[in-house]
Structure 1
Amino acid sequence: MNKQQLEEKVQQILDKNQIGTLASIKDNKPFSRYMTFFHEEGFHLYSATDKDTHKVEDLQENDQVHILIGYENKGLNDTYLEIEGKAKVKDSNDVKQMVWNDDLEPWFEGPDDPNYVVLDITPSEIRLMNDADHQPHRLEL
């Protein structure tokens, strides 16, 4: 699979899936939780969260994250992504407005809610797993 084909497959998975797991480092150990991810063009990811969560504390000490996204629970051969990267906590109005949608209303009063922040995730490597040839395909960014 060439780089363009790999990028297209990765983009398709990101377009089709929003729910995945985000692992951060807490007390020098991985800690995972389900998150909703949004993305614009490319592979940059965003996830809304409350500023007073453990993940925000974790990221202030270690910005390294690992994401699993795309597994659809249809069987052992589901194609999914493993994403390694760095996350920054953003509270700028521009980023909060970009990510805001009605699905966030149960948790936040609106895009101006002072507790609402956005995790801004820049991938360094994406691995396409369980593709048709059952070999991981690595996309370095």
Structure 2
Amino acid sequence: MNQEEFKQKIKDIVDSNPIGTLSTVSQNKPNARYMYFQRDDITLLTATSKQTHKVDEIEENPNVHVLLGYTDWDSPYIEMQGTIKIRDKEVIKEEFWQDMMKHWFTGPDDPDLIILEIQPTAFRLMNSKEKEPVTLDM
């Protein structure tokens, strides 16, 4: 599988399975939570409140791990390692905004809303038709 095919598989998995886990590290212990992801090419984006523990953890250690996919025993999924940048500019919040977010935020101008931009450092494609996991280091 070449790099472009690999990237397309990543995009397909994110587009069809936008809910996954985001794992952070705090005091050398992992913390995982479900998040809703969108993508900009293969960079992942997710929204959160600046008042959450995950933001404190990210400020302490920006390295994260994401799992997306795996809908049944043999479906493909991705493992992603990356680093997070916190984005709070109005334009990115408006681009990311979806009506379902009204449950947590008043709108894209909510001062607590931030976007976590996950820059990938490595991807691992699991349960693909390949015999072994396929890895892409960035």
Is the TM-score greater than 0.5? yes
Q: Tell me the TM-score normalised to structure 1 length.
A: 0.93
Q: Give runs of aligned pairs for residues 60-79 of structure 1, distance below 5 A.
A: 60-72=59-71, 74-75=72-73, 77-79=74-76
Structure 1 stretch 125-134 or stretch 17-26: which is displaced more?
Answer: 125-134
Query: In the alignment, which of 120, 123, 134 is matched to residue 120 of structure 2?
Result: 123
Q: Which runs of 5+ in 2 are unaligned?
A: none
Match of 1:17 in 2: 17
Query: Which contiguous aligned blocks of 4+ residues in structure 1 show a shift greater than 2 angstroms?
Result: none
Match of 1:37 in 2: 37
Match of 1:112 in 2: 109
CA RMSD of aligned residues (A): 1.0
How far apart, CA to CA, are the structure 1 residues paired with 2:128 and 2:115? Answer: 31
Match of 1:49 in 2: 48
Per-residue CA deviation, residues 62-92 of structure 1 (Å, 9 max, x unaligned), is 00000000111x22x2210000000111111
Cα shift at 1:102: 0.5
Q: Could you say what secondary structure the match of 1:125 adopts? A: strand
Q: Which runs of 5+ in 1 are unaligned?
A: none
Give the fraction of aligned pairs with identical amino acids, expressed as a percent: 41
